[in-house]
Amino acid sequence: MAWFQRGAAADVPDGMRFSKSDSGKADLNDYAFDLRPKNAKVSIRLAGSDPRQDEIARLAGNADLQTAGGRRTLEEERTDAPMEVRLFADARISGVVGMVPRGFESAVTEALNRLEEAGRKPRIPVRIVSTRHGYRVDLLVGSTR
């Protein structure tokens, strides 16, 4: 094992260890200093979708998908718990479909805050994408600008 990877596995909580194809995708360079997306195309691909393929496949046919729920509770913030994402579809809330990648929880929280301050419902639009590794869920954070 390389010297720069020795402590990496110990720093990651058990609930956040995912395969390379299921670790989520986002880039902090897509955000301005106040965590506002730089353009409307900015998205965050959720991590931890592999064990939830059945739930995501059931939702894949829906056209209007949005996140359900709001900010994390104080208890979740204190313990640095992963930010789970559920979807709102057909007037129902789904089960967990993935988790926000580590380090991007604040970008999602700021997007929810922007929506609330604008008087809109705190729901981020979502797109389900089919890849060769299965279904993945993208949060369309750029649409909250």
Longest dimension (CA), the chain: 51
Which is higher by pLDDT, 145 or 59? 59
Of 12-16, 67-71, 139-143, minimum mean pLDDT range: 12-16
pLDDT, residue 93, reads: 93
Distance between CA atoms of residues 76 and 7, nearest Å: 24
Give the pLDDT band of residue 6 (cuts 50, 70, 90): very low
Chain-centroid distance, C-alpha 2: 30
- Show the DSSP H helices in 12-70 as ranges: 53-59
For residue range 40-99, list pLDDT tens digits in order: 999 999 999 999 999 999 999 888 999 997 777 778 777 777 889 999 988 899 999 999
For residue range 23-42, list pLDDT tens digits in order: 899 999 999 989 999 999 99
